[in-house]
Structures are given as structure tokens and as C-alpha cells.
Structure 1
Amino acid sequence: MSNVKIRLTILNFLQFFVWGTWLLSFGKYLNSTLGFTGEQIGAIFMAVGIGAIFMPALMGILADRYIKPNNVFAALHILGAGMLFLAAREQTFSALYPVMLIYLMLYMPTISLNNSISYEILKRERFDVVKAFPPIRVWGTIGFIIAVWIVDFLGWGVSENQLYFAAAFSLILGLYSLTFKTQKPAKTGEKFSLYKALGLDAFVLFKERKMAVFFIFSILLGAALQITNMWGEAFIHDFGSLTEFKDTFAVKNNGIIMSISQMSEVLFILTIPFFLKRFGIKKVMLMSMFAWVLRFMLFSAGGPVGIGLALIILSNIVYGMAFDFFNISGSLFVEKEAKPEIRGSAQGLFIIMANGFGAMIGAYFSGWIIDLYTTNGVKDWDSIWAIFGIYALIVAIAFMILFKYKHNPEEIKKAEEAGKI
């Protein structure tokens, strides 16, 4: 592997390592250690959606027109390190919420900037981006998994140490990114339009029934995307309140159990070309939706030992299909249906709908459901997961009826040859 690829691999590894240090365990920390309600935890995780709605576009404007991309990236991570440090010291909702909101508004745009920096450097060094980037990016997922394991092994999942740990690596990543050389934004004669820069021109797609239906369901399914990241570890951790389960491997190492989801992501990504060729975009999206139903229902029937643990592990394996199939097939659908001049904005709109508005709705209402089914501090997890599963089932059936799309194998073949899947 060339020196450039190694350095970009480290960049991608650290980018998602920082996220993995806290994303899966944070809900458990907020609930078990700080005693936050489900609604409060949901409000904090809504910040993920808020950060995904407009901050990537705004930071992209800076990187495209005014400041070198790696400098923007570095500033966001260094400032983010400071916010994580502050977050570790706060113990009340009123103090912690604004800090985490600011942090996530800083972190979310770094995901797309990480890609932009990698693409630019690989192109400059004359690499085929389509072939060179995926093996580099997969180390981001590996970084996420390793971070989850470290936090879990050290017992930091229910302490503020996870945030101090994240702050340290966010600072390291910010400083490391300054060692890269990216191009200074070129001045163009094109008149700047905030309307276009924020991707608002893509809203014209709502005039087409097929696209409007797709984007509405992107929001509805997007509501499910982060629920298990928010509540999965807390669910398994709660079994520790029962004497017979408190010393089981799953309760003590719930982060490791949940990280199987990210391992599954890596595997299912490799299967997407086969499924798209054979079944087409609509059926693959439906597979994702029914996989979410199965994901939640398996959690509802799961437990920390025996068959219950096997069901949780199976649910984590199913997650790869649930998460990857919708994101990739949805992106390909947008690529095919949007006109060339607004394809970039249309892809941004897809992210805003699913990971912005959808994630916000899911975070808030999942917290509300958690509180509704909590009595004297004890959560009725069986009912909670079953409700999420029923919601996903309703969405899947409605999508199957309302979304009209005909499979064309030749289009899938062309997309694969173009490196889009």
C-alpha cells in the first residue's frame, strides 16, 4: 500500500473511531449514570439530525470557496474536542444539551469532508477513486468497532471517560489532518447562491409523485436508523438489574455485542450488487424495511443468555441488511431519477430526509415511547421493541403499496460499471 493510501486509511480510521467511542454507549450513560429521561435522551440524539440537515452544506461551502478542506476539517475536530471535554463535565440536561448540540453540529460535516479530502488526494495522486477509496473507507468502520470494544473493555460505557477519550482522539485527528495538503479553493466567476449551495433546488423533485413518495418514506424509515444505536446498549445493560444476569458476558460487554451490527454492515455492503441485479431497487429497499421489522422484533424476544442472546446476535447481523440496503439502493434511485444538474443536491436532500429529519423524529418519539413504558425506573423493553417493530412493518407495507418502480437489470449493470454500487 502506498504512503498516501496509508495516511488516508489512518484519517478514515480516526474519523469513525471518534464516533465509536461514544455513539453506542452514550444513551446508556445518560440513562443509567445521569438519570436522564427517555425524552431528554431523545432530545440530545435529535442533535445528530439537526447537525445533518444544514451543517454539512455550510461547511462544504467554506471548503469549496474560501478555506482549504483539511483546514476546515481540522478546525471542526479541534473545536469538537473542546466541546467533548466540556460535555464530560456536565451532569444536567440543561447544561449538557447545548454542548452536545454544538458538538454534533461540528462533527456531522466532517463525515462528508473526510470523503472530499480523500477523493481530492487520491485523484491528485492519479488513483482510481472508485477502486482505491472503498478499501480505505472500510477502515473507518473497523475504527468504529475497535473504539466500541476499547470503551467496553475499560468499563467506560457508563462513565464520562468515554467523552474524555473521544475528546483526546478528536484533537489528535484535527492536528493530524493539518499535515495533509489540499488545494486552496479556486476563485470562480460564478455568482454564489446559498439556495443552491444548501441543495434547496432539489426540492423541485417533490413535484414528481414517485420522488415525493420516496423522500417521504426516507423520513419515515430514517426515524428507525438510529434507534438501536441510542437504546441497544441500554437495553442489554438493564438486564444487569436482575441478579441472575448481572455477571453474564452480554451485560458486562454489551458494547461488544452491539458492535456485531457494524461488522454486519461490512459484510452486507459486499452483497448489494448481487441483490440489486437480481431483485431491483424497490425490492432491495423493501428487504431493508422488513429487516428493520425483524431487527426490532428479535430485540423484543431477546435476552442476555441462551436463545435470547442468540436472537440479539441475529438481530445485530440483520442490521447490516437493514441499514446498508436502504442507504445504497436509495442513493442509486436518486442518482437515476434526478437530472444531472441537480444530482448532487438531490443526494444531499436524501441525506437530509433520512439522516436529518428522519433521525430527529426517531430520536424524539423513541424517547417518548421509552418514558411511556417506564414504571418506577423499570422499562418494559419487550413492548418498546415490539412497538418499534410494528411501526417499521406499517412503513414497509405502505411503501410496498404506494411506491411504484419497475426493475431494469440493464440500469443496475450500468451503475455497477460506473462504480456507483
Structure 2
Amino acid sequence: MGIKGRLTLLNFLQFFIWGAWLITIANYWFGNKGWSPQEFGAVFSTLGISSLFMPTLTGIIADRWINAERLYGILHLLGGVALLYLPQIDNPTLFITVILLAMICYMPTIALMNSISYTVLKNNNYDVIKVFPPIRVWGTIGFIAAMWVTNLSGSKATANQFYIAAVASFVLAVYSFTMPQCKPQNKGQKGATLTEILGLNAFKLFKNYKMALFFIFSMFLGAALQLTNMYGDRFLSEFEKVPQYADSFVVKYSTIIMSISQVSETLFILAIPFFLKKFGIKKVMLISMVAWVLRFGLFAYGDPEGGLWMIILSCIIYGMAFDFFNVSGSLFVETQCDSNVRSSAQGLFMMMTNGFGAILGSWLSGVIIGAFFTSSKGDFIWMDIWNTFAIYSVVIAIFFAILFKHKHNPEVIGKVSH
């Protein structure tokens, strides 16, 4: 297998691990264990907590002391052990603790995978900008494949989803040790301050009104992203409680229906350069926010029969909501920041979305759903839940439209996207 093929498999397995349980864990939590929604919010907040510090810490270790591919393998080995232990737990607090350990191991491997891919491609004289995106697409395909495997194997509400993820994690750990060496680039290097090493110098961007607003709104949109990851599959599965929908395709293959969102994501990413150049970051971000409103609103009124088109359209719109925010936001940071803080600024963008945003969305949604949108019988009031999320997105969009000021320059975007 050639270098590109090997990196393709690396990307595929990386996101296969995540896709095996991320979208279906709510079915296990509520359907299998019967634990509370307030505590479930803490499960997804572990992704945010891990994203606050682990990517930076492991980046420092890989830059200074340990080969990136070895550190990557060790983390997947430890993460696999944590995933393997999860099904043995009958206490929600202990479950959250162990899944936090699993995420502490997993979340930094996303950045390490990118670093390994870039290093290997450069060492083999490939054009990274041209060659890496088609390789990275296989990560999304891996995520979709795992969702399908979990659903078709009847594992979406059982402990098997964690076993599937654990096995994939062990396979990837072993495979990573066979990858070409990615040696530390800054071994023994001196002179950088602790602030620079940790990327904290990017926080000075908050002195700029426009950038501060951008990062704050990124956090609020990052919170919106967690909501469908947390509750989407569970929402579709619970149509089984309605007799006329109990045997519907949507109930039986809810995870496959949800995978349309990831398929859409791979397609909408191709449209980003056109939209950014024509409309600019503010309008593209507003399009993303409107897409989130439609994502939640269509779920509120969709059903497996006459409203199936709403569920399908909601999943398609997800691609626009996700990509127009995440990818466009990253390009905006690239065009607005000085080169000496550009990498740190990208880290800050990820910290605000996948870190603080994930914690905010996970924790707050769990509290609100548990307090206001759970019936006396323990059933979720889905229409009210999705409408509340839609209203949240509308409020964010209105404030963003009023407060965020930015003059669009098509030439700047054109240079970055080509």
C-alpha cells in the first residue's frame, strides 16, 4: 500500500472509532440504562473539557519528546481500554468519569492525525494542500461507515457500540506503530516562552472588538452543534413509542438516516470557496445560523410518514449549517490574523467551538431538557425541545447580524481558498 493509501486508512479508522458511538450513545444512556438527561449533558461536555487542554499538551510532547505516530498509538491504546470498560459500568457518575478518560485520549489524536498526515506527505514530496483533502474525506466516510455498522448490527442501544469502537481503536493503535516516523521537530529547542508554547498569546485577539465578537459567537454556535449529536438519533428512535410509526424505516434505521448529515457535509464543503468569495464571512455565517434554525425546526415538525421529507431535509441542511460555520470560520481566522499568531488563533477557534461551546451546549441542554421538557413519565417532549433550540439559533443570528461588522474583500478570500 502506498503512502496516500496508508494515510487514507489512518483517517478512516480515526473517525470510525468516533462514529461507532457518538450519535447513538443517547439510545444506550436513556433506552438501555434509563439514566437522567441532566447527567447525560455531562457526557458530551467531556468532549469540550478534553478539547480545552489535551490537544495543546500532546502537541508540545510530540514537538519536543516523542514521535507523533508513537504518541498517537499510545493514546489510541489507552482510549480503547477505556471504551472497553464502559459497558461494565452501572453507575452514571463512574460512566462519565471513564468516558472523560476516553476523550482525554481520543480528542488530541484528531490534531495528531493531521500532524502525522502533513509530515508524511511533506517527507514524500507531496503537495499537502492538493493531496490531503481527498484523504481527509475518508475520515468522514469512516464516521458514516461506523454509524451504519452500529445500526445494521443492532447495536445502537446496546453496549456493542463501545466494543466496536474499542476494537477499531486497538487496530488503529497497532497500525499507527507501523507508520513512517514523525520525529520531534523542536527537540532541545529553547527561547520560546511558556505563553508562546501553550498558544496563549492568541488571547490578545480578544482586544480586537471584531475578533472578540467572532470568537464569542463561535462558542454559541459550537453549543448548537452538540445538540443534534446528543439527541438526534434518540429523537428518531423514540418514534417507536407511536404505534403507527413503530415499524417504520426511520425507527429501524435511525442512525443511517442521521448519516445523511455527514454525507451532506462532504458535499457542502465544496461550495464554501464560492459562497465566501461572493458573499463574505458575515453572510456565510448568517446562512449557517439560518440553517441551524431550519435543522431544528424541521425536526420539530417531521415524522416518519407524511413528514419524512422534513427529517431528510433537516439532515441535508446540517451539511450547510456545520461546514459554513466551521470551515468558513477557520478561513476567516486565517485571513484576519498575523502569521506569528495564526496557528494559535486556529487553536483558539477550536477551543471556543469544541471546548467552551461543547461544554455550554452539553451541560445547559441537559439541565433545560430535564427541567422543562421531560414528562412525568420520563418521556421527552421533542417538539418543544427542537423549537427551543431553533429559537436559540434565531436569537444568535439576530445579535450576530446587528453586532458583527465586517467589510467583505473577495480578493483576500480568493487568495486563501486557492
> Are the equivalent residues in 2 in contact too, given 1:120–1:182 (CA < 8 A)?
no
The AA in structure 2 aligned to 1:196 is E
Paired with 2:198 and 2:33, the residues of 1 have a C-alpha distance of 37
Paired with 1:260 and 1:88, the residues of 2 have a C-alpha distance of 28
- Matched residue, 1:303: 303
Paired with 1:150 and 1:20, the residues of 2 have a C-alpha distance of 9
Cα offset for 1:192?
4.9
The AA in structure 2 aligned to 1:247 is D
- Matched residue, 1:389: 390
Comparing 361-370 and 346-355, the one that deviates more = 361-370
Paired with 2:367 and 2:137, the residues of 1 have a C-alpha distance of 35
- Provide the secondary structure at the position in 2 that maps to 1:145: helix
Q: How does 1:249-328 map to 2 (within 5 A)?
A: 249-306=249-306, 308-328=307-327
Deviations 1:334-385 (A, max 9, x none): 1111111111100000000011000110001111222121111121100000
Paired with 1:359 and 1:77, the residues of 2 have a C-alpha distance of 22
The AA in structure 2 aligned to 1:388 is F
Cα offset for 1:188?
4.1
Paired with 2:189 and 2:220, the residues of 1 have a C-alpha distance of 40
Paired with 2:18 and 2:406, the residues of 1 have a C-alpha distance of 36
For the pair 1:202 / 2:210, whether they are aligned, the reply is no
The AA in structure 1 aligned to 2:252 is K
The AA in structure 1 aligned to 2:3 is V
> Are the equivalent residues in 2 in contact too, given 1:48–1:108 (CA < 8 A)?
yes
> Are the equivalent residues in 2 in contact too, given 1:18–1:147 (CA < 8 A)?
yes
Deviations 1:119-156 (A, max 9, x none): 00000000000010001000010010011001001110
Cα offset for 1:189?
3.4
Cα offset for 1:190?
2.1
- Matched residue, 1:82: 81
- Provide the secondary structure at the position in 2 that maps to 1:379: coil
The AA in structure 1 aligned to 2:408 is H
- Matched residue, 1:366: 365
Deviations 1:152-190 (A, max 9, x none): 011100000100111011000011000012232142432
For the pair 1:237 / 2:237, whether they are aligned, the reply is yes
Paired with 1:93 and 1:219, the residues of 2 have a C-alpha distance of 27
Q: How does 1:7-22 map to 2 (within 5 A)?
A: 7-22=6-21
For the pair 1:212 / 2:215, whether they are aligned, the reply is no
Paired with 1:7 and 1:322, the residues of 2 have a C-alpha distance of 31
Paired with 1:183 and 1:251, the residues of 2 have a C-alpha distance of 45
4+ runs deviating over 6 angstroms: none
Deviations 1:267-314 (A, max 9, x none): 0001111111111111111111110011000011111222x1110110
Paired with 1:261 and 1:39, the residues of 2 have a C-alpha distance of 26
> Are the equivalent residues in 1 in contact too, given 2:69–2:182 (CA < 8 A)?
no
Paired with 1:164 and 1:210, the residues of 2 have a C-alpha distance of 45
Paired with 1:158 and 1:36, the residues of 2 have a C-alpha distance of 13
- Matched residue, 2:401: 400
Report the number of matched residues: 415
Deviations 1:99-129 (A, max 9, x none): 0001001100000100000000000000000
- Matched residue, 2:381: 380
> Are the equivalent residues in 2 in contact too, given 1:54–1:198 (CA < 8 A)?
no
> Are the equivalent residues in 2 in contact too, given 1:70–1:182 (CA < 8 A)?
yes
- Matched residue, 1:99: 98
Identity %, equivalent residues: 53
For the pair 1:149 / 2:166, whether they are aligned, the reply is no
Deviations 1:306-341 (A, max 9, x none): 2x1110110000000000011111111111111111
> Are the equivalent residues in 1 in contact too, given 2:20–2:146 (CA < 8 A)?
yes
Can you give the 5+ residue segments of structure 2 that lack an aligned partner in the other structure?
Answer: none
Paired with 1:320 and 1:252, the residues of 2 have a C-alpha distance of 23
Paired with 2:192 and 2:412, the residues of 1 have a C-alpha distance of 35
Paired with 2:364 and 2:87, the residues of 1 have a C-alpha distance of 26
Q: How does 1:336-355 map to 2 (within 5 A)?
A: 336-355=335-354
> Are the equivalent residues in 2 in contact too, given 1:63–1:185 (CA < 8 A)?
yes
> Are the equivalent residues in 2 in contact too, given 1:145–1:259 (CA < 8 A)?
yes
> Are the equivalent residues in 1 in contact too, given 2:265–2:319 (CA < 8 A)?
yes
Paired with 2:40 and 2:181, the residues of 1 have a C-alpha distance of 38
Deviations 1:215-261 (A, max 9, x none): 11111111101110110011011111122111111001100000000
Paired with 1:78 and 1:114, the residues of 2 have a C-alpha distance of 15
* Structural RMSD (CA): 1.0
- Matched residue, 2:191: 191
Cα offset for 1:195?
2.3
Paired with 2:174 and 2:157, the residues of 1 have a C-alpha distance of 28
- Matched residue, 2:181: 182
TM-score computed with the length of structure 1 as normaliser:
0.97
The AA in structure 1 aligned to 2:177 is L
The AA in structure 1 aligned to 2:369 is I
